[in-house]
Amino acid sequence: MGTQNVIEVARDLNINKVIGISTDKVAEPEGVLGVSKLMAEKLFLASYYYKGNKKTKFACVRFGNVLGSRGSILPLLKKQINSKGEITMTDPRMTRFIMTVPQAASLVLRATNIMRGQEVFVLKMPAVRLTDLIKTAVAYYAPLCGKKPADIKVNVAGRRDGEKIHEKLLADHEIPRVLEMEDMYILTPHQKVLKDEYGARYPAKPLKVSSENFSSEFAPKLSKIKLLKLIKDADVHQI
């Protein structure tokens, strides 16, 4: 209902463009968050079919895990280290796509600038192993909290219902509709004529990579040095 309200209000007010914030959890979702975000995506994109004489255009962006954002893992780890001297991880096998707050903001602004309507813009993101993220975060935050990294206990809680071991940027059935740019993927509408039109508009090319490229399991992993820099930067950009 909230997404539909946004669509109707945007049209009533003759807003030119609207970007919906989605997540990589919509690609073959297993949990409530992924399913609800997928429905929001579909409502935004389907609004084209009943637009009437309204000119408002809708598109979406898909985020990975935004480091330092409210409710994300880094503020939680910092809080746990500072207050309890121990942290909780779900499953050490997990991998996740990550991006920074500036990257997330830049993706929204760029998508708004180049969109035609009905696209989903997905940044090419590196992935991280949860164990690497935990170890690097502990090494950085523990001294800031007056503690030794070696003294921080890690409790493994196990996977929660609906959580995946690995995430995907795009579902397998979406891949035939994807155009590739240097730094992002563009998921185009279902209609072939629109895909052809969009392909002519964007400096993009048809996708030729394997579906494995869209899984955090097989995506390039950040080194601990680069990960440490991102964690430090996330402290600065935390929102």
Contact 186, 198 (CB under 8 A): yes
**Which amino acid is it at 162?**
G
Question: What are the residues facing 86 on neighbouring strands?
Answer: 153
Contact 41, 53 (CB under 8 A): no
Say which of 25, 164, 168, 195 is annotated catalytic. 25
CA–CA gap between residue 121 and residue 137 (Å, rounded): 29
CA–CA gap between residue 204 and residue 182 (Å, rounded): 8
124 is catalytic: no
What residues have CB less than 8 Å from 132, skipping those under 6 apart? 221, 222, 224, 227
Burial of 94 (0-12, 13-18, 19+ CB in 10 A): buried
Sign of CA dihedral 64, 70, 74, 77: negative
Catalytic residue ranges: 25
